[in-house]
Amino acid sequence: MARARTKKSAARKKTGKKKAATVKTTSKKTKAAAKKRSSSDRRGQMPTVISRADASARIVSAGKDVHEDILKSRKPKMEFPVRSLSNVKYDAKRGHFEILGKTSLRTLTYNTVKTFAQSMRLMATTKRELLDKNDIAGKREIYYNSKSWGPCRFEQQPESDALLDDMEAMLAVNREQLGYIPEERGGDVAGPLVVIDRNPTSGLQVRIDCARLGSGAWSIPSRVEQLEFECKAKFILVVETASLFQRLVHHLYYEKANCVLVSMSGVPTRACRRFIRRLADDKKLPVLAFTDGDPYGYCNIYRTLKVGSGQAAHINRFFCVPQAHFLGVTPQDIVDYKLEDATHPLEDVDIKRARDALKNDPFIRHHKPWQDALTQMLKMGVRIEQQAFAKHGLNYVLEKYLPEKLKKQKYLP
């Protein structure tokens, strides 16, 4: 537990990484596709998941744009959106961050020729080796694959990671649909849910009953678009920490509450968020989030789950869960459940994160209840972990706290 706390503290203290340029093609076909997707989102429909053939066609179209510029003796240019909170708005109707109009222009020059060559080679590899062959690759594999690219090989993996993000934004296709799999685990699931998957080799149907896994849980795969569901649960309970998730599974809490339990283990991965979104949309299930009561749990973990992030605004429509609401732990819970002596002082990084959110975060600024919660936390000067309820007994959280919160149904947006 101490180790987990240390890892989270390190995450809270981590400074923002340098933002990689996100390349966006200006072809008419891509603009038309983006307009169509935008219209679909406004009608409240699920985001369109394009086929491998369509993704491949977008790569070909982007390549032709560059080739045409060269043939006409024009310097090839790539326009890409600025990916940060300063270039997003919170769209309450769609339920997620939408990217605004700020863009940067990258022109082929002596200084950018290597990056251009890497971009073109990466798109070609994606088309020929992944999309055309229906194969997959991890980020680390692509980095090593580039060692055969001669002068345009990547010297460090952050270079290839950045260009993957560039390509994702340029094509308006999330990288999972391009065949790239994340390195991190997707999350764990337990409860009254049958997941219907396919054997990747034989194509035969595979049924996974998430209520019949003994003391364990089913791990969400890196790609979830092919999954189908059978579920009679009333809601999805998304839990931040693995230890609390394991306690709820051990005591079969999902039977008592008739819910599907999902462990995020910190900031939820893209696969985890996409899985929750697909299940919630498919079965019309509400989603409740249960995190630690600190600015990191609110402004990083929960906010990312519900509306996405500024850096990924171009794909948030796939990886956010707009129907999510925040169950706890809230600052008011500290008072209501007499947990004052089970808290920890806010660290400088917590105070900064909370103040920045109140000032700059479009989601927080849109919802007064969240402004009130963060202001109350700053006044109290403390944060609290999910495990703090153990002060009243190891199973107090599942015997008292959760039932009362579910009964009152007073959640933060």
Considering the chain, tell me which residue range(s) the CATH 3.40.1360.10 domain(s) occupy: 188-408
Percent of the chain with pLDDT over 90: 52
Average pLDDT for residues 343-351, to the nearest whole number? Answer: 96
User: How many angstroms separate the CA atoms of 277 and 332, rounded?
Assistant: 28
Query: Alpha-carbon distance 116 to 76, whole Å?
Result: 9
**What CA–CA distance (Å, rounded) separates 156 from 208?**
39
Task: Please say if the pLDDT value at position 326 is more than 90.
Answer: yes
Question: Do 283 and 275 form a contact (C-beta atoms < 8 A)?
Answer: no
Q: Which two tokens stand for residue 401?
A: 């706290």
Write out pLDDT tens, residues 238-260: 999 999 999 999 999 999 999 99
Residue 186 is predicted with a pLDDT of 65
Q: For 98-149, what is each residue's pLDDT tens digit?
A: 667 677 777 788 888 898 889 889 999 999 999 998 888 888 899 999 999 9
Q: At what angle do helices 52-71 and 28-42 cross, to 10 degrees?
A: 140
Partners of 188 in beta bridges:
219, 263
Burial code (b: 16+ CB inside 10 Å, e: under 16) for 28-61 equals eebeebeeebeeebeeeeebeebebeebbbbbeb
In whole angstroms, what is the distance from residue 366 CA to residue 218 CA? Answer: 36
Confidence grade of residue 293 (pLDDT, cut at 50, 70, 90): very high
Active site residues: 144
Predicted local confidence at residue 258, as pLDDT: 97
Average pLDDT over the chain, rounded to whole? 84
Confidence band, pLDDT 50/70/90 cuts, at residue 83: low
Contact 231, 284 (CB under 8 A): no
Q: Which CATH architecture has domain 188-408?
A: 3-Layer(aba) Sandwich (3.40)
Tens-place pLDDT, residues 21-78: 333 333 444 444 444 444 444 434 555 677 888 889 999 988 888 888 888 888 887 7
- Is the pLDDT at 319 greater than 60, yes or no? yes
Tell me the per-residue pLDDT of 120-132, one tens digit each, with 9 for 90 and over: 899 999 999 999 9
pLDDT confidence of residue 134: 87
pLDDT value for 27 = 42
For CATH 1.10.10.10, list the domain ranges present in the chain. 19-181
pLDDT band of residue 263 (cuts 50, 70, 90) is very high
Q: Given a cut of 50, is residue 94 above it in pLDDT?
A: yes
The region of weakest confidence among 61-65, 195-199, 276-280, 333-337 is 61-65
Residue 211, Cβ neighbours under 10 Å: how many? 15
Statement: the pTM of the whole predicted model exceeds 0.85:
no
- Fold for the domain defined by 19-181: Arc Repressor Mutant, subunit A (1.10.10)
